[in-house]
A = this chain, B = another copy of it.
């Protein structure tokens, strides 16, 4: 402590390395070494120093250290505009798994929210260019870029998760959206379904593109035309899944030749869709089979329990952190890679054999 003469109480800044050094009877630099490179110091002095540090309740000042070594130990996660989904636990799960993996590597997690406004972009760019963060994991398809500064040029390792941005030069951790969709569509075809309704999130979104492509692949493989699958949605964001499902139910009611199977691209859509068509008197899965994406646990408690494609969020988060750590340590950067972690279909009662129709 240096303020020992008048001690204005207000900001007691805690013990410094100098205090530890004094108590242990060694030089400051020796304390620094003892704490950082315990191997490079005499065992006896190390013990003395450890004891002194513990006695004083010493914790090294992170800002001083980071300034000195020129590196921060904070990673930021860039989340899309709204974190607010209906039943999906993807965001909390991502945060949890990433935070855990980061801590194990000695890093901390900072949140950055990427809204559509310029302010949030500026905020993220400040974080990057001020040296506050050491790397980023991004869950949005847009890299912040405001008057000259772009996140891409911040010299920061970045990993994309959920969305494939390897084209933009970012290593990406994704699930097998396309194959998962192809498989489940195939399975429905196998159950006798020939007319489908596809409920989409925002058109052009990576998930939509991939999943729809997967569905079409299955149709083609079975010799069915593209017209056998109607589309609903495409204008609203995934955050508005409930509204999308409600609108899809209205669309569904209008269809002349009603589909016997519905594929929703989020559990929210499926849940609100089901609630509306049941109200119209339809039986699920008797009249209509339903499958969706996200693997929300609540699907088990719908009536009927909903089949859903679970995304391996834990593994994806862990993988994203692993890749980020590699990038941080690497002297040379490898090529941007696309890492695919397979998802898993949870089969429940919401889909069944097609009624023999027509």
Contacts and interface: CB of A to CB of B under 8 A. Distances in A.
Interface of A: 10-14, 54, 57, 59-64, 66-67, 70, 72, 74, 82-87, 89, 91-93, 95-96, 99-100, 103, 108-113, 119-120, 123, 125-127, 129-132, 147-149, 155, 242, 245, 268, 271-272, 274-275, 278-279, 296-298, 300-303, 331
A274 to B, nearest CB: 8
B70 A13 contact: yes
Contacts of A72: 63
Contacts of A99: 111, 113
A95 B67 contact: no
A296 B301 CA distance: 15
A129 B95 contact: no
A57 B96 contact: no
A-B pairs with lowest CB-CB distance, top 7: A59-B129, A62-B130, A83-B92, A275-B301, A63-B67, A62-B132, A109-B111
Q: How many of these chains are in the complex?
A: 2
A54 B147 CA distance: 9
Contacts of A57: 129, 148-149
B84 A93 contact: yes
Contacts of A296: 86-87
Given A12-B155, A82-B96, A275-B301, 4 more contacts: A59-B125, A100-B113, A109-B110, A278-B303
B297 A275 contact: no
A59 B154 CA distance: 11
A86 B131 contact: no
Contacts of A67: 61, 63-64, 67
Contacts of A112: 108
